[in-house]
Amino acid sequence: MGLFDKVKTQASTLSSGIGDAASKIGGDVLSSSKENAKLVAIKADIASIDGQLEIAYKEIGKKYVDSLLAKSDGFEAGIQKTLSYIEPNLEKKIELENESIEIEKALKDQILMQEKAIFQNEFDEEKAKLDKALKMDVISQDEYDKKIHKENKSYVFLKKKDLFFKIK
């Protein structure tokens, strides 16, 4: 019965670890979905501002052509109202774009950390197996060191692409 008790204990420990990881990932997914919704709203605001700016630019162009046709010098006075409308919209657009960039960076970092955690868990599981094999004298210390070194090197982080993956 002692062997079955150990198996039962290992299974419950494993299931609680999986449950903890799942709840952490669930929380991260909820957080990232909120950030994604905020990002979509910001991009919609930017698109709206772009539409308003496009209308203002067309209005300036029309006033310019009208002043050329009328051969008048009052073009600049006629567009002051439109220009005063454009400036705050451009500032708001820049703020929204900067906020959008920050959210995208945060989401990217969050995904990167999740990938890193997954690969760290895989490494820890492999290390636990090797530790057990070493304690049971299935492998020697030299074999253990080589395998740990190989496992450690098999997880590569490519900074250029911000990706984690395991080399086999």
What is the structure's pLDDT at 11?
Answer: 46
Give residue for tokens 């162009």.
Answer: 61
Q: Which residues of the chain have pLDDT under 70?
A: 1-31, 154-168
What is the structure's pLDDT at 54?
Answer: 94
pTM of the model: 0.56
Query: Domain of 54?
Result: 2-166
What is the structure's pLDDT at 85?
Answer: 86
What is the structure's pLDDT at 158?
Answer: 47
What is the structure's pLDDT at 8?
Answer: 52
What is the structure's pLDDT at 5?
Answer: 55
Q: Which long-range contacts (CB under 8 A, 24 or more apart) does 88-93 make?
A: 89/49, 89/52, 89/53, 89/56, 90/53, 92/49, 93/46, 93/49, 93/50, 93/53
Taking the C-alpha atoms of residue 46 and residue 96, their distance in angstroms, rounded to an integer, is 7
Q: How many domains does the chain have?
A: 1
What is the structure's pLDDT at 57?
Answer: 92
Give residue for tokens 């868990």.
Answer: 121
